[in-house]
Amino acid sequence: MKKVLLKNNNLILNVDGKDIAPIAYMSYLPFRANYETFRKIGYELFSASVCMGDKPINELSGIRPFEKPIWKARKEFDFSVVDKVVGQVLGDELKGYLLLRINVNMPSWWREENPDDLVRLSNGQVLMQSSFSEKWIADVKYFFAKLKTHIENTKYKDNIIAWQIAAMNTEEWIAPLDVDGEPDFSVCAQKAFSRWCEEKYKNIYALNIAWGTELIDFSEIEIPSIKRRMERNETAMVDVARHRQTIDYYRCFNESYANALEHLCKHVKQIYENDIFVGVFYGYIGQLGCYSGHCALSKILHSENIDFFASPFGYTELRQTARDWIYHSAMQSCANAGKLWFLEADVRTFQTKSLYDTMPTVVDKNNERMYAPIWFGPKTEEESIWNLIRSFGKVLTSGNAFWWFDMWGGWYNTPKMLEFMNEAHRIYLSALKKPFKKATEVAVVLDEDASYGMNTLYYGQTYGEQLVCFGDAGVPYDLYLKGDFSFETLKEYKCVFYLAPLELTSKDIEIIKRLDELGITVILTGRDYDVNGKHIFIPNKALVEKEIREYYKRANVHIYLEKTGLIFANGDFISMTAAEDGEYTLSMPKECVLCGVFEHEYYRTQHNQIKIGFRKNQSKLFAIKKSETL
C-alpha cells in the first residue's frame, strides 16, 4: 500500500513498506532531459507529463502540445505516448518511481461536441472546458478507467506510484483567463450558479434581501456581468453588502474548482482501491485571488483523496533579484493535515534556451511572449548555482517536498551543476533521517476569502507584495490557513500576522484574545477590525519591511539580519541570499559554528554573531553545529 507517513517529524512517501524521499526530477521534454544521469546520481523519484488532448497547456501562450494526444476520438485511444514517456524517464530497466502528471484538458473533438460545457468569456470567445461541466468530469473519469487498464497491463505498472491530475491554465488549475473579472459565462456555469444560490439561500426571499433584488424564482438568476464585476473592483476595499451577488458568484466559481478536483481525485483512489498517491496543483492563495479558482482550499485540504499539493516558487520580480520567491500557500496547514507540498523548482540557468531554439515544432519563432526575461536564467554558471542553492535552502529548512523541473531539458547539464544535484540529494536524504527542528517564531495567516473584499491591486499589495517584504525582513516564518488551526498551534509563536482577513469569526477573535493574554504580539493588516488588546495591533494597510521589523522587535523575535537579506532557517540549517555586495552580520540564536554545505566554509560565532562576505544575489547554505563539537 502507498501512504504518506510522518517520520522524524518529516513527511515522506511509503510504497509497500519502503520509504521514498519526496525529492524528484522532471522535464516536459524527456528526450532532452537528464533522467539517466539523475538515476545514476541516486534519485529514485521522477515525474513526467502526458496530455489527454491536443490542446496546449496554456491557450494564451501559443505553445503547441509537447507530445501526441492520447484521446483521439470517443472510442480511440493511443497509449503509446505513455509507454514512450515512461521508457524515456525510467530507462529499459525501469529503475525508479514515477509521479505521472496527466493533463485532462479536453481535446478538440470533445469541445466541438460540447459547446455548452466550454468556458465562455464576456465577448463570446470560448476556451477550454468549464470547471462547472459535469460532462467533463464524467468523461475524464471514463478516460481514467481506460488509462488505468492500460497501465495495469504494462511492465511499468508498479513503477507508477502517483497520479498528478493537471488541468486548466498551465496545468495548475488556474482559470484560463483570470484577469479583468473573467471568466465564466458558460451555459453550465449559469445552471450551476442557480443551483448554488438555491442551496445557500433556500428561498428566493432570503436571496433578494441579500442581493437587493426582486426576483421571483431561482431560475431568473443571472451570472453578474463584467460591468458589474468591475464595479466591485473600483475601490481598494469592497463594499461586501453592495456587491454580494458578484461575491457569491466568485465563491461558487472557486468552489467549482475544488469540487472538480475532489470528484476526480476520489475516482482515481476508487479505481486503484486506494493504492495510489494522488496530487494536484492548487491553493495559491498567497498570490492568486478570486478570479483564479484557487480560493477554496479549505474544501479539499483535509480530503482523504488527496495526498499532495504542488506549486512553483513565486516568480518575484521575474526572478532577477535577491527578493524571495515566495511560497504560494498555507504550507504549514498542509503539513499539519498530513499532506506533502511539492515545490516545483523550475530554476532557470545559464543553460536555459528559448523554447523555439529547443523544440521549434511547438512554438513559433516570432512568439514574443516566450522571449520574456522570466524564461531565462542568469548569464553565468556561478549565478545559476546560487539560484539552485536558494531554492534548495528554502525547501530544506521548511521541510517540504520538491522536484527539480528541467522544463525544456538540459538546464542543469554541466559537471558542476550535476555535482550540486548529487550533493543536494545526499543532504536532503540525510536530513530526513533526523528529527526536523523548527526554528520559526513567526506565523503568517492567509485567508482564502480575503480577495472577495479587496480589489485586484490592493489584494496584490496585501498578499503577494507583503509576503515578499516578509522575505526581506531577516526572519523565517510559517504560513497557515485561517480557520484551520487552534490556539494551541499559534501559542508556540512570538508574533502572529493575519493578512487582511475578510472577517473575523468568533473562533478567530477567541484565539486572538487568548494569544494577547499570553503576551504574544498579533498584527491584523489591511483593514480595520473591532478587536482590542495590549499586544494587538491593527495597521489598516499592507506592511513594508521596516514596519515588519518593528513588530518583530516589539515581540522579541530573533532577527538574523539587521539589513535586507533573504533568510531561511531551521534548527539544523540556515540559508542566506544577499541583496547587495558586502559584508553581512548574521546573528544566531546561540553560539555555534556554521559549516558551508557546498563551499565548505567555516565560521564560528563571537557573541552569537558572524560576519560573512557576499556578492549581490549570492546564496549560501550552512549546517549549524554546536561550538563544542568542532
Q: Buried b / exposed e across 146-155, counting CB within 10 Å, b at 16+? A: ebbebbeeee
- Torsion angle (degrees, nearest 10) of CA 233, 234, 236, 241: -70
pLDDT tens-digit map of 506-541: 999 999 999 999 999 999 999 999 999 999 999 999
Stretches in the chain below the pLDDT threshold 50? none
Q: Which residue has the cell 473562533?
A: 507
Number of H helices, E strands in the chain: 17, 27
CA atoms within 13 A on the CB side of 355: 25
Please check whether residue 57 is in contact with residue 437, taking contact to mean a CB–CB distance below 8 angstroms.
no
Report the predicted TM-score, pTM, of the whole model to 2 decimal places. Answer: 0.96
> How high is the pLDDT of residue 566?
97
User: Residue 409: CA atoms inside 13 Å, Cβ hemisphere, count?
Assistant: 18
- How confident is the model at residue 628, as a pLDDT? 60
Residue 593, phi then psi, degrees to nearest 5: -120, 135
Q: How far apart are CA 536 and CA 518, in angstroms?
A: 11
Number of C-beta neighbours around residue 176 at 10 A: 24
Burial (0-12, 13-18, 19+ Cβ within 10 Å), 442? buried
pLDDT at 255: 98
Per the listing, cell 556578492 goes with 615
Residue 14 is placed in which grid cell?
Answer: 511509503
What single-letter amino acid sits at 472? D
- To the nearest 10 degrees (0 to 180), the angle between helices 187-201 and 204-211 is 100
Domains assigned to the chain: 2-113+121-173+256-432 (3.20.20.80), 442-554 (3.40.50.2300), 565-629 (2.60.40.1180)
Nearest to 392 by CA among 416, 436, 367, 428: 428
Q: Which residues pair with 163 in a beta bridge?
A: 100, 278
**What is the C-alpha separation between 251 and 452, in angstroms, rounded?**
8
**Regarding beta strands 18-20 and 10-15, do their DSSP bridges make them parallel or antiparallel, or are they unpaired?**
antiparallel
